[in-house]
Structure 1
Amino acid sequence: MFNSLGKYILLLHLSFRKPEKFKVYWAEVMREMVSVGIGSLGIISIISLFIGAATTIQVAFQLSSPLVPRSIAGSIARDSTILEFSPTISSLVLAGRVGSSIASQIGTMRVTEQIDALEIMGVNAPGYLIAPKIIAGMTMVPLLVIASITLGITGGWIACVLSGDVSPADYISGVHSGFDGLTVRVALVKAVVFGFIIASICAYQGFYTSGGALEVGQSATKGVVYSCVMILFADLVITRLML
């Protein structure tokens, strides 16, 4: 365990050494940002809309007492979406989509000796392959979470319009009532940390792959599983520290 942790820290150190050619690294960062952000926007949008709608309907069902104002459904759905559903569920989905891709890509380069070729040519392979992915993850995951929050709240409004369980006016009133900007800051901190976790852990698993195609698949699976576990652990820690 400690040996793996040491290799992980060393890999991160090598990844963020001064680049040989900044323009090459910058182009790689831009490519990874497009891959992580634009490539994941569709699945994040669909999930956010449906989770927001389902959350609002369930909250409205549980608050059936006439003593409870219907607008409270909007407040609960808003805070649940901002604090938990959008950052955590979106990151778990991204661990499956982006994380597996990172581990498979780097793992394939390792078993086909492309990484060895880069190192022979004097290229800092961890810096060229891993640092852009980490930067892209820490940059684009917060933007995806912001989009997820917006779409989740919109999905709740759509559910109100279609179901009639809560009037759209009451829902909007609840969304505006008692809003605390701290919840958004917590969500963004989570998103940055989760982006780092996904990219770094999956890149580590891919970088130290040995064997053939079977081992590449195993590395991708390990990367996704470990990322999901660490995301849930980090979610607990950040929630406890900031709230």
Structure 2
Amino acid sequence: MSPLLHPPGLGRGGTLGAGATPAGEMQLRWPGLDPLDPTLDVLVFDDSGSLTGAAGNDPVGNRYAEARRAVELLSQWTMTSRQKLAVLHFDYPHVDSDGPHRLDQAKSRNQALRALAVPSGVYGSSALAPAMMAANRIARDHGEITRCTIFSDFELADPNPAQPYDEIAAFPGLVHAIVLNADPPTALTAVPNVTVTRLASDSPPGLAAAALMQSLATGRRGARRPALRIRR
């Protein structure tokens, strides 16, 4: 299995922002040819008030739009059934899981893209464990290479504080935590199968898409890393 790559300037627990780079935006580039082995990416989204409120922790306020941008580009270069995508929300099971969807077929791809939005009528749960348990079930049912990408500020309110991290550790593959405008908790960074990308309030536009693309393109052949385009 290929190692999870990082956006330029980011490593495990890294931050891009706070004056770390000149003004610019992240540009997605060619995501490469289909992986040789079947893969499943499970995306998990936090829709709690700490992210969706007027002063929420989603630094640019468009994590879903950036996720759609990455998935749309990937799907343009997906020619086989070997890459699939599933979407979960913290409000699971009130909001059901969506997928897995093939990215090489228009109907299935469009279903995946429609799932990349704040669901209607959500409570805004801050508990990760139910969605993570569902992600583990989907991954086990898939039985092939699996990855999980979580968009959250990790201001969690699970009744058992250790449970979400136990579920993350139990995931049968790589977990990429995209931490939105917050410091990743020690309980998260201590999990061996986790890689962290932190988005700060002044991170360049497109960094969420770039971080997700680095997950999605793992194992694809010839993929080019996203690059920072400097504004002039």
Question: The TM-score by the shorter chain falls in which range?
Answer: under 0.3
Q: Which has the larger radius of gyration?
A: 1
Q: When the two structures are superposed, what TM-score results if normalisation uses the length of structure 1?
A: 0.25
When normalised by structure 2's length, the TM-score is 0.26
More helix per residue: 1
If each structure's strand is expressed as a fraction of its own residues, which one has the higher value? 2
